[in-house]
Amino acid sequence: MVNEKATEPCVQNQLYRDVERVLISAEEIQDRVRGLGRQIDERYADKDLLLIAVLKGSVVFIADLMRAITIPHEVDFLATSSYGAYTASTGIVRILKDLNEPIAGRHALLVEDIIDSGHTLAYLTQLFRARNPASLEVVTLLDKPTRREVDIDLFWTGFSVPDEFVIGYGLDFNQKYRNLPYIGVLKSEVYQPGSE
């Protein structure tokens, strides 16, 4: 008998086999992103809104979020890299690509994939505040509050997640898994070989 499930990518494809479990489904993400879009519409009505996405993890989120926002706005991109281990942030942030446009006098909204220790965002908000935007706030798809090492204020969260390594919907491990349509927990043996 043909197993219908065998045609689904989850059993065919290594990408899906490395997922321990689905934490947030594609539908749940879409619902939440629409909700955030409505809040942003209200908060920034009649304001000069600039969305700033931190590459690369935030690209999937910003692509959906900007279409959930109905007020006119612009987008800009910033690329950072933190030195150190794959799954832990070191707090040392390097700007690989700065913004194209000045943000002075504009309402800047930083779009992040996940706030973990908070070091990346603490650094970026300090950097951008010095450029005198009219306002600076943060919207993050995911938050791992139990991992926080520095306080971050003025941020909106899509979902709080437990202290596990998550992938998908833009988030990577070793640059892979960004194209998973949901947020999943990565099997620990993938990043800790021999831990099975």
Q: Is 172 a catalytic residue?
A: no
**What are the phi and psi torsion angles at 149 (to 5°)?**
-110, -25
Residue 195 CA to residue 76 CA, distance in Å, equals: 41
Which regions of 67-170 does DSSP assign to beta strands (E)? 73-82, 93-97, 107-115, 135-143, 155-160, 166-167
Q: Does 57 bind Mg ion (CB under 5 A)?
A: yes
**Which x/- pattern over 2-41 shows residues binding Mg ion (rule: CB under 5 A)?**
----------------------------------------
**Which x/- pattern over 146-165 shows residues binding ligand IMP (rule: CB under 6 A)?**
-------------------x
Choose the binding region for Mg ion from 32-40, 50-58, 99-107, 157-165 (rule: CB under 5 A): 50-58
Residues in the chain: 196
Q: Select the binding partner of residue 166 from Mg ion, ligand IMP, none (C-beta < 5 to 8 A, by kind).
A: ligand IMP
135-143 β-sheet, strand order: 93-97, 73-82, 49-55, 107-115, 135-143, 155-160
Interface residue with ligand IMP, options 49, 50, 118, 168 (CB under 6 A)? 118
Contacting residues toward ligand IMP, per CB under 6 A = 57, 89, 112-121, 165-167, 171
